[in-house]
Chain A
Amino acid sequence: MRIVIDNVGKKFKKSKKEETTALEDINFTIHEKEFVVLVGPSGCGKSTLLNIVGGLLSPSSGSIYFEDMEDEKREPTVSIVFQEIALFPWRTVYQNVIYGLEEKKMSKQDQMEKGNYYIDMVGLSEFKHAYPKQLSGGMKQRVGIGRALAVEPDLLLMDEPFSALDAQTRTLMQEELLTIWNRTQLSTLYVTHNIEEAVYLADRVIVLSRHPGRIKEIIPIDLPKMGRGDAQYRAQFDDYAEQIWQLIRQDAVDALKE
């Protein structure tokens, strides 16, 4: 199975006559069990692309499709971890996590098994019956991750999931995400503007330019998936980060001027 992003472009109407091109000529493939990270300065169209892939926005041109699914009859499922977290405030942690399972009309028994399994995976067993407002930012986003994992999607989308968190929580959550990812091995498209985060998590990093958002370069990260933060990989890690920074730098400077 793979997900193909085929020649996707997106234009937004600025006013009656003017249009802005948010995305242009976007072509890439997410392979099975691959972790792809989209990185680029703010306003380059990362969220736009992710929303198109998630079926929350129509592309102006091009298409997105799944290829070579094992079970041809089944509709592929895509789940999203939102930047805004977007938990349902009137649902407890457990009820949020099983939302997608309810909608799949899964039996109560299965909902409970899956729900508990994924709540445990994101480390929230103690807070199962808490409401979102009782949780810290990091805990809320764990629920968001749990909710997305629980439906066991064919493709997992994450839009700057940790950008609202403080730096320390963020580092811990990145480590935790890697651990979880190793257990689930889901095909993932992850959006961030944080270069270190991209190098830390990605199998491949896709660097986007802005105005219009195009693919500038695709960089495979040739480091072991776990333990990239260790001292022995320090030099290589920094090289990757530097390489990406040089690609983004001018665009980031331009973004500041707007």
Chain B
Amino acid sequence: MTKKMITNRVAFLDKKVPLYASILGIAGVLIVWEIICSLHIVSPLFLPAPTAIVTTGWDMLLSGEIVKNLVPSLYRIGVGYLIGSVVGIVVGLLLGFSKWADAIGTPIVYSIYPIPKIALLPLFVLWLGIGELSKVTIISLGVFFPVVINTYSGVKNVDPILIKAAVTFGSNHLNVIRKVILPGSLPMIFAGLKLAAGTSLLLLVAAEMIAAQSGIGSMVLHYGNLMITTKLMVGVLVLSLLGLAFNRFLQWVENRLLPWK
């Protein structure tokens, strides 16, 4: 008599991959990059070695160059992001609640939304001057749209049965908004805020490249023009760290505000 064993044929679906795999991936890329550079396969003018970028970065940090450029960048993105997201949330809630605001405002929002915001920068420079105001405005505008649209659909997606429950247990309109619609749309609002973080970084760099004397974006462009690639790469590294930190921060706030998710 022969045995025919039955085995789990979908075992591949829940196969576990050890944690070191992802670290190995990044380390691998860095090592190969370093080797290519040390073998002089590519000129350091085009591709500086990771170690060179880090040491140059350290020097620039000590000399104060990074801080000098980072501070105005942080100011622009901070103010722009704050204004854009606050206005976006308020307008989004308004469009979501009020049938009138919805009918009037939503078509306007959706028709301006597809414009690539950076195309408006020359216009803002014309209107608001070359200073901080035009850069902050463009960032606010870029942040405003993903936030307003997500907030709006968040409000629309709040389960009507929850509103019925709130009214049944005695809530007036204001409390329905405060206790049901706002917390109910918060997950969507956060999705919009995260989306907007990427947009704001993009607009920051673009605006600083077009019209600024300081800032990480202008620093990157400056060293690009001088063909000092290592310092250019330091700028890129700073930007990616900024993006990473921004995302982490939003995630942290979200975890605090949405423990029920």
Contacts and interface: CB of A to CB of B under 8 A. Distances in A.
Interface of A: 54-56, 77-80, 82, 84, 86, 88-91, 99-100, 103-104, 131-133, 147, 151
Contacts of A84: 159, 161
B170 interface: yes
B165 A82 contact: yes
A145 to B, nearest CB: 13
A58 B259 CA distance: 37
8 contacts: A56-B168, A82-B161, A84-B161, A88-B166, A88-B180, A90-B186, A90-B258, A147-B169
Main secondary structure of the interface of A (DSSP, over half): loop
Contact of B168 (A78, A91, A131): A78
Interface in B233-261: 258-260
Interface residues of B, number: 20
B260 A90 contact: yes
A13 to B, nearest CB: 18
Contacts of A86: 159, 161-162, 164-165
A151 B260 CA distance: 24
A132 B166 CA distance: 16
B171 interface: yes
Nearest to B164: A56
A103 B164 contact: no
Nearest to A150: B169
A79 B260 contact: no
Contacts of B169: 79, 99-100, 103, 147, 151
A90 B259 CA distance: 8
Interface in B119-172: 159, 161-162, 164-171
Interface string B163-198: 011111111000100011001101000000000000
Contact of A79 (B168, B179, B180): B168
B168 to A, nearest CB: 5
Given A88-B183, A90-B258, A133-B260, A100 B161 contact: no
Contacts of B183: 88, 90
A131 B229 CA distance: 53
B180 to A, nearest CB: 7
Contact of A100 (B170, B180, B184, B259): B170
Nearest to A78: B168
A131 B161 contact: no
A78 B165 CA distance: 11
Contacts of A133: 260
B167 A88 contact: no
Most buried by B among A80, A90, A100, A104: A90
A88 B168 contact: no
Contacts of A151: 169-170
A131 B161 CA distance: 18
A133 B168 CA distance: 22
Nearest to A103: B170
Contacts of B186: 90
Contacts of B180: 88
Given A103-B170, A103-B175, A104-B170, A89 B260 contact: yes
A169 to B, nearest CB: 21
B216 to A, nearest CB: 38
A104 B175 CA distance: 12
Most buried by A among B166, B171, B259, B260: B260
Nearest to A100: B169
Given A86-B161, A90-B183, A91-B260, 7 more contacts: A54-B168, A56-B167, A79-B168, A80-B164, A86-B165, A88-B162, A90-B186
B259 A131 contact: yes
In the A-B complex, list the 7 residue pairs whose CB atoms are closest, starting with the nearest: A103-B170, A100-B169, A86-B165, A90-B183, A131-B260, A86-B161, A90-B260
A82 B164 CA distance: 10
Contacts of B162: 86, 88
A54 B170 CA distance: 12
